[in-house]
Structure 1
Amino acid sequence: MHSSVHATESLLFSTLLQIIVMVLAARAGNVVARKFGQPGVIGEIVAGLVLGPSLFGHFFPDAALALFGAKASSPITIISQIGLVLLMFQIGMDFEFGHLGRRKNRNGSLGITAASITVPFALGFIIGQFSAPLLAPKIDPTTYSLFCGVGLAITAVPILGRILKEFDLTRTEIGVVAISAAALNDVIGWVLLAGISAYAAAKFSLENMALQIGGILLLAAFAWFGLRRVIRWVLDRYPVTAGEISPNVMTAVIAITFAMAICTYQLGIFAIFGGFLAGLLFHDDKAFVEAWRRQVGRFVLVFFLPVFFTYTGLRTNVLGLTAASDWMWLAAILAAAVGGKIVPVFVASRMARFSLTESAILGTLMNTRALMELIVLNIGYDMGFLPQNVFTMLVIMAVFTTVMTGPLLRVLLPRAGYAVPQGVEA
């Protein structure tokens, strides 16, 4: 009895110590990144990488082993996954479908979405096919290539939203089109990821895949036509008062979100999809969205998100890319990721009658990946369809493509007649 209590206390001690380090490092990274004109989340991602084998684990291996162990402990893994479910709930809740009112914006968004998914997905798949024998010899080449394709195709709505706010573009035409296209891109990206995950997990059984897809459609129909009405009734009965969500409503929301996460997990497409689907059901109630963001959202961003970034950083070893061929494949991935987003989005924007500079701005914005990319990569890595080195390359690509957005916007925006605000808040 005494030994089990001691083991629990010991686990609690190490988990609390890890969380203190993660949260403080992420906040420091956030502050530093904002001082350099980057979204704070980039600093949080870099802080996660610094704590992993790329820096702290390399120079202080004994200290890193004592602090984090040989691999992330079960509590940290679970906390990061709960955080992701809650984060995906917020992302679903924040989707702005209303931006697509004007025909030009609608057509522009649809064209940009198509261009921003098909070309990078195809390039990622091709890179996967060519690199599979060298970088992933023990992994099914088709599944590996599909994950590479999705990795390049994703655009990160949450980070893009922060960048648009930072540059005061949220109400401008290009801001509206960019966030709408990114939202559509994300929905399609998640559907692709769900399909590929089901394809991979079902071990190529068409029958299993058909059952999973059928289950997903049934769950979506139940959520949209049944659960949404129940939620609306609850929110009408217990509305947000004085900007506060009642404890009863918050309890119901958490239960619904986690129940949806269980449903999507049982369907074999990961719990985080359930969180996203639950968020979409609350999207219409602006007062609830605002109150949730203030009451719960900030805690999710300050506590849960750093744990996820560090969890990713502990699995990413930049110094593990030792062979010249590794760096050549990284260069190929970066070229495909950047060129495969900016060029096709530029062409699609020109076809939608945006100016040359506005088209370049839209291409730059859609190149933002960061958070969503890391979620996709962790799923691929956990399923065993992305080897360590490729996981590292794609994490570097996610950070690089997001870091380049701010400096490019500072050059392009004045040319399109937009003022660049002083001071950065993200």
Structure 2
Amino acid sequence: MTASVHATELLLFSILVQLIIMIGAARLLNLAFRRMGQPGVIGEIVAGLLLGPSLFGHFFPELSVSLFGAKAAQPIVILSQIGLILLMFQIGSEFEFGHLKTPKNRRAMVWVSLLSITVPFGLGFAIGQMSQPVLAPGINALVYSLFCGVALAITAVPILGRILREFGLTRDEMGVVAISSAAVNDVVGWILLALISAYAASRLSTAHVGIQLGGLAGLGLVLWFVLRPAVDWLLKRFPIVDGQIPPTLMAIVIILTFALGITTYKLGIFAIFGGFAAGLLFHKHEDFVVAWRQQVGQFVLVFFLPIFFTFTGLRTNLLGLGLGDLGWLGVILAAAILGKIIPVYFGARIAGFDHPRSMVLGTLMNTRALMELIVLNIGYDMGFLPQKVFTMLVIMAVVTTVMTGPLLKWLLPKTGHVAPRQVEA
């Protein structure tokens, strides 16, 4: 056996062992958390944290390094990103626009989107300015503060989509306004993140911003006038038969999704939003959406997502926070929670929602989890976030998402909504 073949086999062995551990741990904690009444995805996030230096890596450091390496292997990183693109396609395909036809819901989306971005961003920026001398002394204060603002402004579209599904809210007006607002929220967040990245690299200019916004507008036109009718034709040419997607259609859909991922990456809002845009093209074809969820969606949720959560957990050290850091953690948590729920509540009330439904919207928009973790990993990789702040914000992402399930169980009966028995996820 040549050296190169041996190295390839050794890498494959290592990756297969990691995948067995990641998928098994995620599934076990998914089931455990669902039995506790929490969305299963929270258990998967916790599984990722437990496999990192917060528990396994702390008590068994040598074994952890031998299994996962000093840092995540490149194949694991790539797999996690492919999984996110496919997950975003599924979320986009399940997007329901129908309720947005009513003036009240359109008004609510505008107000909720506006307030759920501006207020948390302002609070995050202020926290960044106050904490930079203490928590991030070696990082540019403006860049760090801007990034803290983006981190607090994000809402998790993929996890919110799964929670809406588990609580039977995907076609309810509360769920539709929430997922619509979260989508707007995250697109703005990604654009801000791209602009901050350009500023940090001394590449920000009026021309740069104009080109990016023009590119996004052009993409929107192509999606609406070219790809939308093309998808309609494609599904007539390759119809769904007996709930099965024809292999040729599946191949074309995957190619389209990845191509749009490349496009959005080049436009500076990261590849995963190409997946979301691709999914939106298929949302009105319900038979396709159902077939995709059954044939591809479950595999994405069970195989790809745990890889990303473990990847994040391996770089998060909850035990690395000292007593002096807990005060800052408390400030971040208070700003993140109150800065989302209260503004969204008032935005929904202005739009005409009653008190219980406005509270539900505030609770839903407070969900951060996956998108927050993606943003934090980008910030950590680019040097915007020191280790301790990264850990604090990961805790914030988990806490704000863990809150969602219990609050919904308390609030939804007040709206007259009866949640179905939780679906397998």
TM-score band (shorter)? over 0.9
Equivalent position of 1:48 in the other structure: 48
Equivalent residues of 2:29, 2:43 under 8 A apart: yes
Q: Could you say which residue in structure 2 is the equivalent of 1:156?
A: 156
2:251 alignment partner AA: T
1:216 and 1:166 mapped to 2: Cα distance?
A: 32
Partner of 2:134: 134
Task: Give the CA deviation at 1:199.
Answer: 4.1
Question: What amino acid maps onto 2:207 in structure 1?
Answer: E
Matched AA of 1:61: P
Aligned-residue offset at 1:136? 2.1
| Contact 1:38/1:424 (8 A) holds in 2 | no
TM-score w.r.t. structure 1 length?
0.92
1:374-403 C-alpha deviation (Å, 9 max, x unpaired): 122122222222222111111100110111
Give the Å deviation of 1:366: 1.6
Contact 2:195 2:204 in 1 (8 A): no
- The secondary structure found in structure 1 opposite 2:385 is coil
* Number of the residue aligned with 1:328: 327
Return the alpha-carbon distance in structure 1 between the equivalents of residues 49 and 147 of structure 2. Answer: 22
Change (3 A) 1:216 1:140: farther
Shift in CA distance, 269/351, structure 1 to aligned 2, threshold 3 Å? closer
Give 2:27's aligned amino acid. R
1:232–1:383 distance in 2 versus 1, CA, 3 Å: farther
Alignment partner, residue 113 of structure 1 = 113
SS of 1:239 mapped into structure 2? coil
**Counterpart contact for 2:190–2:270, Cα < 8 Å:** no
Residue matched to 1:404: 403
Deviation string 1:174-227 (CA, Å, 9 cap, x unpaired) is 344333333333343334334444444553344334333333333343343333
C-alpha separation between the residues in 1 aligned to 2:192 and 2:384? 15
Which aligned pairs between 1:95-244 and structure 2 lie closer than 5 A?
A: 95-201=95-201, 203-244=203-244
Aligned-pair CA distance for 1:55: 0.5
Relative distance call for 1:230 and 1:101 in structure 2 (3 A) is closer
* Shift >6 Å, 4+ stretches: none
Aligned 1:6-405 pairs, distance under 5 A: 6-201=6-201, 203-324=203-324, 326-405=325-404
Q: Which amino acid aligns with 1:114?
A: L
* Deviation, structure 1 residue 47: 0.1
* 1:255-310 Cα distance to aligned partner (Å, 9 max, x none): 22222222333344432232222222233322222221111111111000000000
Cα deviation, 1:24-53, whole Å, max 9, x if unaligned, reads: 000011001101111000000000000000
Moved more, 121-130 or 140-149: 140-149
Classify the secondary structure of the residue corresponding to 2:357. helix
Q: CA deviation at 1:323?
A: 4.8
Equivalent position amino acid for 1:131 in 2: S
Mean alpha-carbon deviation: is it higher for 142-151 or for 225-234? 225-234
Counterpart code for 1:381: Y
Q: Which amino acid in 2 is paired with 1:55?
A: L
CA–CA separation in structure 2 for the residues paired with 1:275 and 1:200: 27
Counterpart residue identity of residue 373, structure 1: E
Contact 1:39 1:425 in 2 (8 A): no
Decide which moves more: 119-128 or 233-242: 233-242
**TM-score using structure 2 length:** 0.93
Residues 105 and 222 (structure 1), Cα distance of their counterparts in 2 relative to 1, 3 Å cut: closer
Secondary structure of the 1:139 match is: coil
Q: Taking structure 1 as reference, are residues 218 and 172 closer, same or farther at Cα in structure 2, changes over 3 Å only? A: closer
Q: Aligned partners of 1:276 and 1:201: how far apart in 2?
A: 27
Distance 1:34 1:350, change over 3 A: same
Partner Cα distance (2:181, 2:266) in 1: 30
- C-alpha separation in 1, matches of 2:302 and 2:46: 15
After alignment, is 278-287 or 399-408 more displaced?
278-287
String of CA shifts for 1:93-114, please: whole Å, max 9, x gaps. 2222222122222222222222
- Give unmatched runs, 5+ long, in structure 2: none
| Cα shift at 1:7 | 0.7
Contact residue 201 and residue 268 of structure 1 kept, 8 A = no
What is the distance in 2 between the residues matched to 1:340 and 1:239? 46
Structure 2 CA distance for partners of 1:407 and 1:424, relative to 1, 3 Å: farther
The total of aligned residue pairs comes to 425
Which deviates further from its counterpart, 188-197 or 363-372? 188-197
CA distance in 1, matches of 2:106, 2:362: 17
Root mean square deviation of aligned Cα: 2.2
Using the alignment, how far apart are the partners of 1:353 and 1:227 within structure 2? 35
- CA change 1:190–1:67 in 2 (3 A) is same
For the residue of structure 1 that corresponds to 2:283, the secondary structure is coil
Tell me, yes or no, if structure 1 residue 413 matches structure 2 residue 412: yes
User: Is there any run of 5+ residues in structure 1 with no aligned partner, and where?
Assistant: none
Secondary structure of residue in 2 paired with 1:277: helix
Q: Which amino acid aligns with 1:370?
A: A
